[in-house]
Amino acid sequence: MSKQMRLSVGGENLKTRFHFGLGQAGIFVAGACLLIGLCACNHETGGGDVIASVNGRKLYRSEVDKYYANQTSGSEQQPSGEQAVSLRLSILNELIETEILMRRAEKLGLLATDEEVDRKLNEAKAPYTAEEFNKRLAEKKITLDDFKRDLRRSLTRDKVLNKEITSRINITDQDVSNYYNEHKAEFNLIEPQYHLAKIMVTGIVNAQLRNVQNKAQNDAEAKKKIQMIENKLDSGDDFATLAMNYSEDPETSNNGGDLGMAPESALKSADAATRDAVMKLKPGQYTPIIPVLNPANKQPYAYMIVKLIAKEPAGQRDLNDPRVQQAIRQQLRDRREQLLKAAYYESLRDDAKVTNYYADEILKNAGAAK
pLDDT digits (tens, 9 = 90+) for 114-137: 999 999 999 888 878 888 889 888
Lowest mean pLDDT among 31-40, 74-83, 97-106, 295-304: 31-40
**What is the per-residue pLDDT for 254?**
82
From residue 284, give the alpha-carbon distance in Å to each of 231, 269, 280: 16, 23, 12
Lowest mean pLDDT among 71-80, 167-176, 260-269: 71-80
| Contact yes or no for 337/169 (Cβ under 8 A) | yes
Does the domain made of 1-187+318-370 have the CATH classification 3.50.50.60?
no
Scanning the chain, the segments in alpha helix (DSSP H) are 61-72, 81-108, 114-125, 130-139, 144-164, 173-182, 219-234, 239-246, 264-268, 272-279, 322-351, 357-364
Say how far apart CA 141 and CA 11 lie, in whole Å.
Answer: 12
Give, as one character, the DSSP assignment of residue 294.
P
pLDDT in tens, 333-354: 999 999 999 899 999 999 899 9
Residue ranges per structural domain of the chain: 1-187+318-370, 191-313
Kind of pairing between the strands at 39-40 and 315-316: unpaired
For the whole model, what pTM was predicted?
Answer: 0.60
pLDDT in tens, 46-86: 445 899 999 889 999 988 888 888 777 766 678 888 888 88
Domain 191-313: which CATH class? alpha beta
**Overall residue count recorded for the chain in this entry:** 370
Q: Do domains 1-187+318-370 and 191-313 have the same CATH topology?
A: no
